Structure 1
Amino acid sequence: MNFSQTVKSILKTKDLTPSALARMTGYTPQYMHDLLSGKRRWNETTINKTCEALGIEILIVSKEKKEERKVI
């Protein structure tokens, strides 16, 4: 799952719209819609502001570790 898909899923879970997320992050609704649709690329700042607004964090997990967890 990519970052945009993850954000969309979280928005749905929290009953938020992309426009609401835009207000929370200080971006325009159009800019947020463009990020979520793939018309614009996420950068470190937009990812950080989005994570902060949604109360989430990104964890880096190696593929090896991920595969080990599936087996167990």
Structure 2
Amino acid sequence: MTRKYLVTGMSCGHCAASITEEVSQVSGVTGVEVDVAAGSVAVGGTDLDDARLRAAIVEAGYEVAAGATA
């Protein structure tokens, strides 16, 4: 399963590292791909909890846009 999120406020590699660190701690996550230029975060794993993933991105200091695709 993969979930993709549009994230605002990312501008550099540090941003990507911060999001990767937070999201990787969510149960079920097996991989995180951050595309700073596109403003997207793709999360792979099993039994992914959308609310927890969004909260992890916010915890990293960024905002999740209204739309996310499963």
From the CA coordinates, give the structure whose radius of gyration is larger: 1
Higher strand share: 2
TM-score by length of 2: 0.37
Greater relative CO (CA pairs within 8 A, separation 6+): 2
